[in-house]
Amino acid sequence: MAGSRCADDPRLSRELERLRTLPVNFDVHAVDPERPGPEWTVDDFRQPLPAEPPGPPLSGGPWERACALVLDYKFADPTVVRRSCRSSDSLADSELLLETNFYGLTFTLPCRVGSVTDTTRDGARVWGWNYRTLQGHLEQGQMDFLVSKDVAGGEVEFRVHAFSRAAPIPNPVVRLGFQLFGRSTQLRFIRSACRRMVDLTEPVARPAGRSRPR
């Protein structure tokens, strides 16, 4: 669970502490996240969630529920991401360690929270955060997770926006495996995250008769 310091696993606890010394493995300032350039693969998935009545987000409603899921990384499919641990309960500048399954192999992927979004813009209440990959990750890039509510219409949305490319991978077997299956695993992670967000926000929408996404 994100926010956990993996205290029940000394190996992961030590690894999480080590992440503090690692640099981001790409030049953040040289990349425009919305238009990163042809050398990057860009993903932009928008998933409608159960709607709310117009106005500010409801206490305990789908928007708040979705934000809580994003905060704790609980949208991640456990068949893809076995565990996620964050170095601090505070998001800002936290290290994030993801333990993933990849065709029978387990990898620990180091990341760092880059920025937190908490604003109202273009008539929508928006909250979320992103992470950036660190040295030792199989990829280079950034992934943003945002939850928005259109204040006038009540529509709630989960957005995953990412730019990525393969990092240098010294092990030739792992490098070949990533070339063959890395992209399909990326897409499986994002698509399953969108489905899980719908499934996990729908229960809080039913009691008030709020609508399912169309």
Q: Which is nearest to 44 in space by CA: 33, 32, 58?
A: 33
Predicted pLDDT at 157: 98
pLDDT tens sequence across 45-68: 999 999 999 999 999 999 999 999
The number of helix segments (H) and strand segments (E) in the chain equals: 3, 7
Low-confidence residues in the chain, pLDDT < 70: 1-5, 7, 103, 206-214
Collect all residues with Cβ–Cβ distance below 8 Å to 53 and sequence separation of at least 6.
154, 210
What the chain holds in terms of domains, given with CATH numbers, is 10-25+39-208 (3.30.530.20)
Predicted pLDDT at 210: 52
DSSP 62-118: HHHHHHHHHHTTTTS-TTTEEEEEES-SS-TT-EEEEEEEETTEEEEEEEEEEEEEE
How far is it, in rounded angstroms, from Cα 84 to Cα 81? 7
pLDDT tens sequence across 100-137: 877 677 888 999 999 999 999 999 999 999 999 999 99
Residue whose token pair is 């993933």: 100
Predicted pLDDT at 8: 76
Vertex 163, ends 158 and 167: CA angle to 5°? 135
Residue whose token pair is 């290290």: 95
Q: Which is nearest to 143 in space by CA: 84, 101, 201?
A: 84
Predicted pLDDT at 113: 96
Report the predicted TM-score, pTM, of the whole model to 2 decimal places. Answer: 0.89
